[in-house]
Amino acid sequence: MILLLQTAIRCSAAFIYGCLGEIVTEKSGHLNLGIPGIMCSGVAGGCLGVSVYMRSLQDPALASYIMIVLVGVLGAFLFAAALGAIYALLTVSLKCNQNITGLALTTFGGGFAQVVMDNFVKTSDSITRVNFSIASSKIASPLPFAENLGWFGQLFFSYGILVYLAIALAIVTAIIFNRTKIGLRLRAVGENPAAADAVGVRVNAYKYGAILIGAGIAGIGGFFYVMDVVQGLYESSGPIEAIGWLAIALVIFTLWKPNLAIIGSILFGALYMLPSFLDVPSQIVNALLTMVPYVATVVVLIVISVLDSKENQPPASLGLNYFREDR
Amino acid sequence: MEGKVALELRNITKTFGKIVANKNVNLKVYEKEVLSILGENGSGKTTLMNVISGIYAPEEGEIRINGEVVYISSPQDAFKYKIGMIHQHFKLVEVFTALQNIALILEKGQKYDLKEIRTSVKNICEKYGFEIDLDKKVYNMSVSEKQTLEIIKVLYRGADILILDEPTAVLTPQETKKLFAVINNMREDGKSIIIITHKLNEVMEISDRVAILRKGEYITTVSTKETNEKELTEMMVGKKVDLRIERVKTEIDKPLLEIRELSIKGDDGSKKIEDVSFYIRGGEILGVAGIAGCGQKELCEAIAGLRKIESGFIMHEGESLVGLAPKVIIEKGVSMSFIPEDRLGMGLAPNFSITDNMMLKTYAENKVYMIDEEELATYPKWKAFSIRAWVAIKTFFSRPFVDRKSARKKANKLIEKLEISTPSTETPVRRLSGGNIQKVLVGREIESSPNVIVTAYPVRGLDVNSSYLIYDMLNEEKRKGTGILFIGEDLDVMLALCDKIMVLCHGKNMGIVHASKTTKEEIGLMMTGSLNLSETKNKEYGKAKDSNLTEEEWQKQKEEAEKEGE
Amino acid sequence: MDNQKVTVKEPLFHVAKRDNLKTKYKVLIYACAIILALVIGSITCTVIGDRGNPIVFFSSLFNGALGSERKIFKFLKDTSLLLCVSMALLPAFKMKFWNLGANGQILVGGLAAIACMWYMGRGTNGAISDTVIIICSVIASMVAGAIWAVIPAIFKALFNTNESLFTLMMNYIAQSLVLLMIAIWVQGTGKTTLPEINYGHLPILFGKREILTILMGAVITSAMFAYLKFSKQGYELSLVGDSQNTARYTGINVKKVIIRTLIVSGAICGIVGLLLTAGAVTPTIGTNTANNMGFTAIMTTWLGGSNPLFIAGTCALVSFVNNGMSEVKTNFGIQSDVYANVVIGIVYFLIIACAFLVQYKVTLRKKKKQAKENGFLNGEDKKEVK
């Protein structure tokens, strides 16, 4: 049981990043369906960073922990934010349809990641494989004192640094939303951009900021998934895209609240990891198990729509572009 | 007029596509004065104010503040020059509390300290005499509370020039008085106030000077003391208009639509209409007065079959309309046209062409091919038969398809009759101007020759001439013996046009008065709930004595309703 | 600039809504965008690939897509398939229903066809004639596709459940369903993929396998065009899409229209599934059978507006790039299979950006009089800067 929970929490970080990124974006009134593609490009950026760093060393085994994490996270964030910038340019400045732009981004992102991975990171290369297994083991290495604390340590301290970063980010985001001027303004932009504009909030600046940061956070999620959950073995962008979609659905489940994203992600982490965790030999049972997270998402969507409470609504102007001179 | 010029506009021009909203407008506002901007709807008042407050960028002209040329390209810039605007449609974040909405305007470097904001807001409230609950969420607020919040926001930010866009449109006469008191306080405090309105009495009451706009052009500025309402009207509309709306005398008929003890719930589950009874006779216009959002929309929707009722009866010529599909109600001759604030919400499809909008209610009818029987009789039998067969086949195969041809004919007829200005019948109505959109909607409703017309805000935002066209159309229908329920905003118009006026306050019927025997003040008091005529009279209030149903039949209806309830 | 004294600067660009742009200009804008996108694609290819240059890019693109009779037929087949899916999505889009689940609907349609072939053909060792099997699989695939689409539609109609995410999840559920059925079918054989089924193949018309698909594309497109433009049902669904309030007021049962439209949408996707499985050279099914056409079709449908002719154009464009890129890849020595997606993504971005230029006009502040003519040119400059 503890083992399942442990697996769930570990995997949940990927969802937290994705979900958090989307929450930040949606708070500015933009529904970014490009998150799957953005997470893929995060993979590309992070892996490229790690790969370049490790190839520059004489002996990859001596790579420093801090550098790997730093280079990886930074690369993932930057690449993802670059894609976010395309989305922001198209939807904020050029006022294009958000859904369509997002979907185009997903198509592009998946291909882009694959190209980077094949041509620059060279995943099929044996050097890369060795490098990545070293990097992955470093990134996923548990906190030093976890072993001494028995089941407690296993449950709370046995994860790589990026898991803690995810949770910390979620909490910080929650605080920013509820306790600061920036958070208040961002929420106002998502709720009623005309109102925010009228009091002098720079609507487009906030939108750009939220979309870029949101995309960057989601990108770290992709990098985390490859380096931690599947231990550096990247094959295709398929599973990352699936996580991206689930993360977007999770936003509805968490009612646009970053702290709820942690709990929701752990739940989905558990469901997602169920097939590989139980490891049943029967193909039939496995096929059924892979279905579970998606069916669960559908159930969540239905339940939330049936409940339809007044308080927990999406940002009022979600999906609508703002043009000041609209009449 | 002495004093310093606070704001000056020179040759401002603003266009939207081909539409010129403002053309060479010049304006001066002094310190310590109230300037009214008077103009009909569509005369460019709001556009001009949006230019000053940085929402719109003008194509030409310059703005001077305290004598210096400035560029106001965003609301932030406007704030830098201490210009604050209270928009007609409030710019508030619904899910925030009043305090959070005020906190939004904190500038760079100001600390996010709600306690401090609370104290300074309280100071402002005391200074000018506002009352507000700072922890109330905006979506729970009344219109007047929201307006108060908007004014506080602007004052908190420290504005010297305040622009109020039709502030009284949504207020009761009593609330308006309160607002004017506040405005006077602010003037005493040395602020310049620009107030947009098209209500002449308010112009006379509150302002020092009046600037007049007509069709986007600046006409002149006059001092209030040196003018009168009649002169202002002439300047506003350009030519002399007969302010008197004709009240057609007709033979009144039996009640066409009888509504008894009707209760309706709104979207949020609260009671929007409570135990309301009234009736409309053929050849009569019943006006419905009330502050915006007092259940007018729900009432319309219930009659049209779009909203479930809680309890009560809606009887049309003795037959119940309750529970019938909207389509059936339309077929019975009850037409409803509700003009919402954006003018497009109900009854029109914005992206559809005029033709397609013409067939909204009739698209499902099958096309009928005419056969000229007399001519057919002259043909040999086989030919007559084959013609009949061909028509039958055509009729059969045209069934799944819409009949756009005859709709286009109707559209052309309407365009000609109502002088709708449009490039063609295939233009999406979204592209038409507000007035023309309304003509299409109201025209279509009347063309369908109903016997009961329910119309809400049919002249909303129309210029004087178009408004009169609509009044004429309604009067013509009245002559034909149609019963009309007219839900309106402008009390003056209702007093002139309607035979009787029902006043709603928070969903309750406050009384039905004869338009020729009542006064505006009386209706105003009823709108705010200070006066309730229905209480003072007997229980049968709002029930026709010569009802289509006998008392026994009503009793039977009630019993049936109760049975169903179980 | 004469405003040094004041803190506020006048912005360089002024953006305003455009009234209506002439079709001539619209076409010009879109054509420029597509060419620009391909040029960018050619440059990136040159940078990434081991060899080749931008000119080689265009020649091999053309060659790869239309270089031989076989390639032309493949191009036509791919375009028709994509067009079919787009036509399936079109009525849903007109109704403002975001059907992102075409992938899943295609997949279950194909699965239903394969199931018919498996049980009726292989299961009975050919006792049932192919004609019967084909009729059954046609019906089964349409019904399956329709069911997959109608489930989210029912919840949308009843509870206003978010349809875009619902349909998305249905894609993944469909994939799992395919895995499940394969697992059931190959149980105990030790295999993981489906063996070839030689019963109930769709007929080959005029000696070319592709012709059936191409015909289907033409038929479905013209039928959908007529349905949307002239039929009462088409009128109803456009009305629901344009203004639900008005539709309700007119007496239209909005719920019924939503459900009915999605049945049509899903059934067409089901047919595509049938064409992809029973119509293929070796009928089989896997999680990738839909080939992501569901998503591609969303883009082609939206980019083509609601005009079937333009949609056919965008479908052809995407198929052209997709097929052509396989040759580009070999000629440039690029390893990645999905490189085409990058170029197609760039095409998408630029076409999407065109919507802005069509709807808004950008003018330089100081040049007021030339606004109209300069409108899109200024925008174009801006884009290139990016």
Read off the amino acid at residue B405.
Answer: K
| Residue A119 per-residue DSSP state | I
- Look at residue C383 in the predicted model and tell me its pLDDT: 37
Structure-token pair, residue B187 = 């003037």
Contact A263, A250 (CB under 8 A): no
pLDDT more than 90, % of chain A: 20
Strands B19-30 vs B5-16: parallel, antiparallel or unpaired: antiparallel
Q: Which CATH number do you get for residue B143?
A: 3.40.50.300
Chain segment C272-324, per-residue pLDDT in tens: 999 888 877 777 787 778 778 888 898 889 888 878 888 998 899 989 988 88
* Out of A101, A106, A291, closest to residue C176 by CB: A291
Residue written as token pair 């995309």:
A215
DSSP state string for B464-526 = HHHHHHHHHHHHHHHHTT-EEEEE-S-HHHHHHH-SEEEEEETTEEEEEEETTT--HHHHHHH
Domain edge (last residue) among B178, B204, B237: B237
Nearest CA-CA distance, residue B64 and chain A, Å: 20
- C370 falls in which pLDDT band (50, 70, 90)? very low
Find the closest chain B residue to C14 by CA distance. Answer: B57
- Look at residue C7 in the predicted model and tell me its pLDDT: 38
Residue A313 has pLDDT above 70, yes or no: yes
- Look at residue B459 in the predicted model and tell me its pLDDT: 76
Nearest to A237 by CA among A122, A112, A131: A112
C47–chain A Cβ distance below 8 A for any pair: no
- Look at residue C372 in the predicted model and tell me its pLDDT: 37
- Look at residue C6 in the predicted model and tell me its pLDDT: 34
Helix (H, G, I), strand (E, B) or coil at B89: coil
ipTM of the complex: 0.84
Residue C268 has pLDDT above 90, yes or no: yes
Nearest to A184 by CA among A192, C203, C181, B70: A192
Quote the CA–CA distance of C201 and C193 in Å, as a whole number: 19
Q: How buried is residue B288: exposed, middle or buried, by Cβ count under 10 Å (0-12/13-18/19+)? A: buried
Task: Kindly state whether residues B73 and B214 are assigned to the same domain.
Answer: yes
Domain locations in chain A as residue ranges: 2-307
More confident residue, A220 or B110: A220
Quote the CA–CA distance of B34 and B38 in Å, as a whole number: 12
Taking CB atoms and an 8 Å cut-off, how many pairs form between chains A and B?
Answer: 70
Contact A91, A323 (CB under 8 A): no
- Look at residue C12 in the predicted model and tell me its pLDDT: 58
Q: Do C230 and B330 touch (CB under 8 A)?
A: no
Q: Which residues of chain C neighbour B71 with C-beta distances below 8 Å?
A: 3, 6, 8-10
- Look at residue C11 in the predicted model and tell me its pLDDT: 55
Contact A186, A30 (CB under 8 A): no
Q: C64 — phi, psi (to 5°)?
A: -65, -30
Largest CA distance in chain B: 98
pLDDT more than 70, % of chain A: 94
Quote the CA–CA distance of B321 and B485 in Å, as a whole number: 16
Q: A55 — phi, psi (to 5°)?
A: -70, -25
* Out of B60, B80, B345, closest to residue C8 by CB: B80
Q: Which residues of chain C neighbour B16 with C-beta distances below 8 Å?
A: 16-17
- B476 belongs to a structural domain: yes
CATH architecture of the domain formed by A2-307: Orthogonal Bundle (1.10)
Range of the domain at B61: 5-237
More confident residue, A47 or B254: A47
pLDDT more than 90, % of chain C: 19
- B276 belongs to a structural domain: yes
Q: Do B71 and C8 touch (CB under 8 A)?
A: yes
Quote the CA–CA distance of C268 and C106 in Å, as a whole number: 8
Task: Kindly state whether residues B59 and B148 are assigned to the same domain.
Answer: yes
Count the domains in chain B. Answer: 2
Task: Kindly state whether residues B167 and B276 are assigned to the same domain.
Answer: no
Chain segment C9-46, per-residue pLDDT in tens: 445 566 666 666 677 787 888 888 888 888 888 888 78
Task: Kindly state whether residues B205 and B278 are assigned to the same domain.
Answer: no
Contact B495, B520 (CB under 8 A): yes
Find the closest chain B residue to C6 by CA distance. Answer: B70
Largest CA distance in chain C: 93
Residue C150 has pLDDT above 90, yes or no: yes
Quote the CA–CA distance of B84 and B161 in Å, as a whole number: 6
Q: Do B68 and C251 touch (CB under 8 A)?
A: no
B242–chain C Cβ distance below 8 A for any pair: no
Q: Average pLDDT, stretch A302-326?
A: 74
Domain locations in chain C as residue ranges: 1-49+334-386, 71-312
- A25 falls in which pLDDT band (50, 70, 90)? very high
- Number of Cβ within a 10 Å radius of residue A47: 30
Q: Do C8 and B344 touch (CB under 8 A)?
A: no
Chain Cα centroid distance, residue B335: 18
Quote the CA–CA distance of B339 and B345 in Å, as a whole number: 7
**Count of positions (residues) in chain C:** 386
Task: Kindly state whether residues B233 and B270 are assigned to the same domain.
Answer: no
| Residue B401 per-residue DSSP state | B
3-state secondary structure A140-166: CCCCCCHHHHHHHHHHHHCCCHHHHHH
Q: Do A310 and B268 touch (CB under 8 A)?
A: yes
Q: Which residues of chain B neighbour C20 with C-beta distances below 8 Å?
A: 431
Return mean pLDDT, chain A.
84
Torsion angle, alpha carbons of A194, A198, A199, A200, to 10: 100
Contact B330, B446 (CB under 8 A): no
| Parts of chain B with a pLDDT under 70 | 1-2, 17-19, 40-42, 107-109, 169-170, 198, 237-246, 252-253, 268-269, 292-293, 339-346, 433-434, 461-464, 528-530, 535-542, 544-546, 548, 561-566
Quote the CA–CA distance of A98 and B259 in Å, as a whole number: 47
Domain edge (last residue) among B237, B271, B301: B237
Chain segment C85-123, per-residue pLDDT in tens: 999 999 998 888 888 889 999 999 999 998 888 888 777
Nearest to B39 by CA among B48, B31, B30: B48
Nearest CA-CA distance, residue A205 and chain B, Å: 13
Q: How buried is residue A236: exposed, middle or buried, by Cβ count under 10 Å (0-12/13-18/19+)? A: middle
Nearest to A170 by CA among A256, A262, A269: A262
Torsion angle, alpha carbons of B534, B538, B542, B548, to 10: 180
More confident residue, B237 or C77: C77
Q: Do B93 and A195 touch (CB under 8 A)?
A: yes
CB burial readout B79-102, b (16+ within 10 A) else e: bbbbbbbbbbebbbbbbbbbbbbb
Torsion angle, alpha carbons of A276, A277, A283, A289, to 10: -90
Structure-token pair, residue A102 = 């997002």
Residue C1 has pLDDT above 50, yes or no: no
More confident residue, B109 or C256: C256
Nearest to A221 by CA among A245, A204, A198: A245
Q: What is the side-by-side order of every strand in the sheet holding B68-70?
A: B68-70, B60-65, B5-16, B19-30, B217-223, B209-214, B34-38, B192-197, B161-165, B83-86
Q: Which residues of chain C neighbour A282 with C-beta distances below 8 Å?
A: 183
pLDDT more than 70, % of chain C: 87
Residue written as token pair 């960057």:
A216
Task: Give the best residue of B15, B357, B402 to mutate against chain C (max C CB count within 10 A).
Answer: B402
- Look at residue C365 in the predicted model and tell me its pLDDT: 56
- Look at residue B462 in the predicted model and tell me its pLDDT: 67
pTM of the model: 0.80
- Look at residue C19 in the predicted model and tell me its pLDDT: 62
Looking at the DSSP bridge assignments, the partners of residue B83 are B161
Please, what is the angle between helix B404-418 and helix B434-447, to 10°? 120
Quote the CA–CA distance of C191 and A155 in Å, as a whole number: 39
Read off the amino acid at residue A127.
Answer: I
**Count of positions (residues) in chain B:** 566
Q: Do A107 and C161 touch (CB under 8 A)?
A: no
Quote the CA–CA distance of A243 and A247 in Å, as a whole number: 6
Find the closest chain C residue to A94 by CA distance. Answer: C356
Q: Given phi > 0 = left and psi -120 to 50 = alpha, else beta, which region is B384?
A: alpha
Q: Do C243 and B72 touch (CB under 8 A)?
A: no
Q: Can you list the alpha helix ranges (DSSP code H) found in chain C?
A: 23-48, 54-66, 69-94, 102-116, 130-159, 163-185, 209-230, 232-242, 244-250, 254-277, 293-303, 308-332, 339-359, 371-385
Q: B506 — phi, psi (to 5°)?
A: 45, 45
Read off the amino acid at residue B440.
Answer: V
